[in-house]
Amino acid sequence: MTDFSTWSHANLVKFAEDSHKEITHLKDDLKTAINAYRALLKEFSTWSRKNLEDFADNCYDELLATRADLRTAIDAYRTLLKATHDTPNLQQLSTKQVQPNGSQHLDV
């Protein structure tokens, strides 16, 4: 614990002013946070159960779509790795060309 009895009057005044400013800022920040929390509660409290369920369903659907996209990307990456691993000459993989009729041709 600080022993304020050894401080000069000027230092005590400066400390009190600085502390008061900091406490005032903290109170303002707390009021802002409380008001934002109340506004958020008020907004969601006006939502009907149906709206909340729809919002949750949409979030879940987006999550599933993101997971599906991720799985597709992982599968494509694995396929590419396998194709690269199975190809004896990696240069052939980069020179593969698709013919107009849809068949593939490797330039050797």
Asked if 42 and 19 sit in the same domain, the reply is yes
Percent of the chain with pLDDT over 90: 43
As a whole number, the mean pLDDT across the chain is 81
Q: Is residue 93 part of a domain?
A: no
For 51-76, the pLDDT digits (tens) are 889 989 999 999 999 999 998 998 88
Whether residue 39 is contained in a domain is answered as yes
Q: Is 14 domain-assigned?
A: yes
In a domain, 53, yes or no: yes
Model pLDDT, residue 46: 84
Helix H or strand E segment including 105? strand 104-106
- Pick from 13-27, 29-43, 81-95: least confident: 81-95
Domain count, the chain: 2
Q: Does residue 31 fall inside a structural domain?
A: yes
Does 106 map to a domain?
Answer: no
Pair 42, 14 in one domain? yes
pLDDT at 88: 54
Report if residue 97 sits inside a domain.
no
- Residue 14 sits in the same domain as residue 38: yes
Q: What is d(CA 58, CA 62) in angstroms, rounded to the nearest whole number?
A: 6
Find the domain containing 79 and state its range. Answer: 49-86
Do 74 and 59 sit in the same domain of this protein?
yes
> Which of 23-32, 41-50, 85-94 reaches the highest mean pLDDT?
23-32
How far lies 59's CA from each of 37, 53, 63, 68, in Å? 22, 10, 6, 14
**Alpha carbon distance 78, 59 (integer Å):** 29
